[in-house]
Structure 1
Amino acid sequence: MKLDLKLDNVKAWFRQANFYVEEVYNAPYRSAIARAQREQDDLFMLLIFSEMMGVPNPASYYTLELQPLLMERFHDWHLRMGMEHSPLDNFKCC
């Protein structure tokens, strides 16, 4: 009984020590991670609201040249998912 209690105390101490070590290690990076998250959220909101207001998405123009490269990957993906043909009506790949 005493051995179990001591073992539980040691485990609790190691859990607490691990928590503090992780906090100390991650502390310098928190602001950079939060800033990157805010920038991603801002970009997402900009794209969503611009599309809602009827402004065309500028990313489609810049990614148009990637379409031939993505066709093969899309074809492999829908075959892996068990679909014989493309699930998109306006996007035929096979």
Structure 2
Amino acid sequence: MKGTFSRFSHWCKKASIAGETYYNSPYRAAIARAKREEDDLFMLLVFSEMMGVPNPASWYTLELQPLLIQRFHDWHIRMGMERSPLDHFRCC
């Protein structure tokens, strides 16, 4: 009885994964684009004070800057800037 239940449970998990993949496949590009836009907005919030844009949450985002240096480089390359837009902040 226990072996039958574990096989049924395994089959249900596989069916769930297959159904989720089938349902999400048409929306993958839209989901990836939305995530990229959300990351860009977050990057702007974190580095906005350095770019001259007043940021009301700068005290909270200041400690995130060292963690996001590599992502900042990827972001400014994706935005079409060959070098960092910040004069005093080099990542390249």
Residue 4 of structure 1 is matched in structure 2 by 2
Mapped to 2, the partners of 1:37 and 1:31 lie a distance apart of 10
Cα separation, 1, equivalents of 2:2 and 2:55: 63
Alignment partner for residue 19 of structure 1, among 14, 17, 20?
17
Q: Tell me which protein shows more helix as a share of its residues.
A: 1
CA contact (8 A) 1:50 1:57 kept: yes
**Residue of structure 1 in register with 2:54 after alignment:** 57
Q: Secondary structure at the match of 2:18?
A: helix
Shift of 1:8: 1.1
- The one-letter code matched in structure 1 to 2:48 is S
Q: CA RMSD in A?
A: 2.1
* Other structure's SS at 2:49 match: helix
- Return the index of the structure with the highest Cα Rg: 1
Structure 1 distance, partners of 2:4, 2:29, is: 39
Mapping of 1:6-85 within 5 angstroms?
6-53=4-51, 55-57=52-54
How far apart, CA to CA, are the structure 2 residues paired with 1:28 and 1:17?
A: 18
Instruction: Compute the displacement of 1:52 (Å).
Output: 2.0
The CA deviation at 1:50 is: 2.8
Distance 1:31 1:39, change over 3 A: same
Residue of structure 1 in register with 2:84 after alignment = none
Q: Is the 8 A contact 1:47 1:57 kept in 2?
A: no
In 2: Cα distance, 1:44 partner to 1:7 partner: 45
- Identity among equivalent pairs (%): 48
Which whole-Å CA distance do the structure 1 matches of 2:24 and 2:49 have between them? 37
Q: Please, which runs of 5 or more residues in structure 1 have no aligned partner?
A: 60-94
Question: Residue type matched to 1:30 in 2?
Answer: R
